[in-house]
């Protein structure tokens, strides 16, 4: 494991080609626009187009027991949703719209990860402490829904937050990168290239091959092959453009072609086709990674207006993708037509909310920040 706060010309040359990415494409003509004059006016007056009709609908469905922002919301095998942040946790029942406090985590944390294991238990790892001298946690704990209690175990190799955690086909959990803490410079913004594997059979962590460059704010997506695609992120003051693929069978990394543009704080979702949709991170352009095309790994699809404000992307049972924005907007992507539609609006502009696909096919959005953390729970029905 290396914690890096110095760069080299080689790393820069590798991850930031001199030519940059391809020029940003013009927004797709399929983008929805409202309020334009009709091309077929009546004889006596002009006619304006009506507001575009939103696809699906949103409804308020209760409240959390605590206001939350930067939390995790994990679907349990029961269909309920475990919500964790700070010093407390709760379980929201989408069938009764009631949230009930559950056992308190051993350690307070936000900006952590929560991963449902094959056993149905939930692994919560890392996160923000906000106190000198560590700031970030290396601890992990497991929630048991049958007892509503937490059990602690082995810690990760380094403290981290804003990392990724991916459930592999083996049942192990791959944790990559993240913001971390250097004991000699506790307030310095540092990232790590460390990669750890959690084995639920032994409740222990072991080191895996380090990623090529330290990073936080990246994405990690499980491919149908069982490999994991990691994209972008930030390293110190740089926003990264690279893509890397981890092979669990060989414990090594490969570097396919970089993304068409730099991204951090973005989202990625695997489509039914096996392609990976990458969006947000300050761009309206939407890029697709094709693991089956070694010649042309990346293509660009229809742009998403206000795409830079994306918070979440959830693949529905239909194969469509619901996207929520910090502006309160929601958008729906149809892979069959490469088109975006309006999916209505949330209750308010909400940063740092969490979106969870329910067993019913609806999407539950919990909490977020709108001038402060909120308790709001709302759901989208297609």
Q: Residue 221: which residues within 8 A CB-CB, separation 6 or more? A: 166, 228, 229, 231, 268, 269, 270, 276
Numbers of helices and strands, H then E, in the chain: 1, 33
Cα separation, 156 vs 174, whole angstroms: 11
185-225 tens-digit pLDDT: 656 679 999 999 999 999 999 999 999 999 999 999 999 99
**Residue 132 confidence (pLDDT) above 50:** yes
Q: What is the number of residues in the chain?
A: 382
**Residue 25 confidence (pLDDT) above 80:** no
- What is the pLDDT, as a whole number, of residue 74? 98
Taking the domains of the chain in order of start, what are their residue ranges? Answer: 68-308
Give bridge partners of residue 278 from the DSSP assignment: 268, 287
Q: What is the pTM of this model?
A: 0.86
Q: Which helix (H) or strand (E) holds 69?
A: none
DSSP label of 274? S
DSSP label of 11? H
CB atoms within 10 A of CB 323: 27
- CATH for 68-308 is 2.120.10.80
């Amino acid at each position: 494991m290396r914690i890096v706060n110095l760069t080299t010309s080689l790393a820069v040359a590798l991850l930031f080609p001199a030519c940059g990415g391809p020029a940003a494409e013009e927004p797709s003509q399929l983008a929805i626009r409202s309020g334009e004059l009709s091309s077929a006016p009546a004889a006596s007056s002009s006619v304006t187009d009506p507001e575009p009709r939103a696809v699906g609908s949103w409804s308020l469905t209760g409240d959390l027991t605590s206001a939350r922002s930067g939390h995790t919301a994990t679907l349990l095998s029961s269909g309920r949703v475990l919500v964790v942040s700070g010093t407390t946790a709760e379980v929201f029942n989408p069938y009764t719209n009631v949230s009930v406090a559950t056992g308190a985590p051993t350690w307070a944390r936000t900006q952590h990860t929560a991963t449902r294991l094959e056993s149905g238990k939930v692994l919560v790892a890392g996160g923000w402490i906000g106190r000198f001298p560590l700031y970030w946690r290396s601890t992990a704990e497991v929630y048991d829904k049958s007892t509503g209690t937490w059990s602690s175990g082995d810690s990760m190799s380094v403290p981290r937050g804003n990392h990724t955690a991916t459930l592999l086909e083996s049942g192990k959990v791959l944790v990559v990168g993240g913001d971390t803490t250097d004991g000699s410079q506790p307030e310095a913004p540092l990232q790590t290239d460390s990669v750890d594997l959690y084995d639920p059979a032994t409740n222990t962590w072991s080191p895996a091959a380090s990623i090529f460059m330290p990073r936080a704010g990246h994405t990690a997506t499980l491919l149908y092959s069982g490999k994991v695609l990691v994209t972008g992120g930030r390293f110190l003051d740089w926003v990264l453009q690279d893509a890397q693929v981890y092979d669990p069978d060989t414990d090594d990394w490969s570097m396919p072609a970089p993304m068409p543009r730099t991204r951090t704080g973005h989202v990625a979702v695997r489509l039914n086709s096996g392609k990976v949709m990458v969006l947000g991170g300050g761009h309206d352009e939407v890029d697709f990674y094709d693991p089956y095309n070694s010649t042309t790994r990346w293509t660009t699809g229809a742009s998403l207006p206000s795409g830079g404000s994306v918070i979440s992307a959830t693949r529905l049972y239909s194969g469509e993708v619901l996207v929520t924005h910090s502006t309160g907007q929601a958008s729906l992507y149809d892979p069959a037509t490469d088109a975006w539609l309006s999916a209505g609006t949330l209750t308010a502009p909400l940063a740092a909310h969490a979106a969870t696909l329910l067993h019913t096919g609806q999407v539950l959005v919990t909490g977020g920040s709108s001038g402060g953390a909120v308790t709001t729970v709302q759901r989208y029905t297609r």
